[in-house]
Amino acid sequence: MSGLICPKCGKKSEEIEFIEAFCIECYPVNIKLPGKLEIEQCRRCEKIKMRGEWTPYNKRKISEYVVSKCKGEFDAAEYEPENGVIRFIIEGKKEIKRRVDLEIKTVLCTYCSRVSGGYYKGIIQLRGNSKKIEKYADFFLEKLSKKTFITKAEEKHGGVDLYVGDSRAVVELVTALKLKTLMTKKLVGEEAGKRVYRTTFLIRF
Ligand SMILES: [Zn+2]
Ligand SMILES: [Zn+2]
């Protein structure tokens, strides 16, 4: 078909595909599109918030979310975040397109805001033999960054201090290593009605 002009948007059949008399963006369908949608994305790690949880950026998940907000008669649908277009398959074979207004709001996720805010619940103080301090500092950084986060590592008083997000991970690790550790717990405040402690782990080599 050529020489058609869409009666709704005025596009020509040379510019866009047509179904009968309409372009595929205007072909009348029984689908209710959502109003403006919003997704939060972390500007630091690029994770997106889906159903209240921070998950790695994933096009398919965004598509599923947008499609779940569309109601009506369609067989399949896919949203393309790159161009804001959602493609519907209707009546088993016809492909039509619609635009969805999805805003990606950039924020900091829980994890990144804690890291950037210097949040920590445990301090590992490594003291004594400098060779061992170096070796264990690297080891702790590697092991603990898989379970929690390290806010900072700094050289201090002839040793190294590691600031760790979760002190439980440290307890597990020093226990597994059978390292002689002096633990001191200090109440630092409250978080969601629970007492928050900061634990210092002093390890001498
Ligand atoms: Zn049109
Ligand atoms: Zn993040």
117 CA distance to ligand 2 centroid (A)?
A: 12
57 CA distance to ligand 2 centroid (A)?
A: 11
Mean pLDDT across the stretch 180-194?
A: 85
60 CA distance to ligand 1 centroid (A)?
A: 27
41 CA distance to ligand 2 centroid (A)?
A: 8
Q: d(Cα 46, Cα 54) in Å, to the nearest integer?
A: 10
47 CA distance to ligand 2 centroid (A)?
A: 6
In the predicted structure, residue 5 carries a pLDDT above the cut 60: yes
CB 144 within 8 A of CB 173: yes
121 CA distance to ligand 2 centroid (A)?
A: 19
Give how far the C-alpha of residue 117 lies from the chain's centroid of Cα atoms, to the nearest Å.
Answer: 18
pLDDT: is 31 or 192 the higher one?
Answer: 31
Place of tokens 């080891």: 139
Ligand that lies nearest to the alpha carbon of residue 23, given by its number in the listed order? 1
pLDDT tens digits, 155-177 = 987 899 999 988 889 999 999 99
In the predicted structure, residue 149 carries a pLDDT above the cut 80: yes
97 CA distance to ligand 1 centroid (A)?
A: 10
Place of tokens 């950026």: 57
C-alpha closest to that of 177 among 111, 126, 103, 129: 126
44 CA distance to ligand 2 centroid (A)?
A: 5
22 CA distance to ligand 1 centroid (A)?
A: 6
Ligand that lies nearest to the alpha carbon of residue 27, given by its number in the listed order? 1
Q: d(Cα 117, Cα 200) in Å, to the nearest integer?
A: 19
In the predicted structure, residue 147 carries a pLDDT above the cut 90: no
β 122-127/150-156 pair status: unpaired
In the predicted structure, residue 1 carries a pLDDT above the cut 60: no
* Domains of the chain by residue range: 18-39+53-105, 118-204
Res. 80 pLDDT band, cuts 50 70 90: very high
pLDDT: is 197 or 199 the higher one?
Answer: 199
pTM for the model: 0.64
Whole-number pLDDT of residue 124: 96
Mean pLDDT across the stretch 55-59?
A: 92
Q: d(Cα 112, Cα 151) in Å, to the nearest integer?
A: 10
111 CA distance to ligand 2 centroid (A)?
A: 6
Res. 30 pLDDT band, cuts 50 70 90: very high
Mean pLDDT across the stretch 65-74?
A: 95
Burial of 62 (0-12, 13-18, 19+ CB in 10 A): buried
In the predicted structure, residue 64 carries a pLDDT above the cut 70: yes
In the predicted structure, residue 126 carries a pLDDT above the cut 60: yes
**What does the DSSP 8-state code read for residue 108?**
-
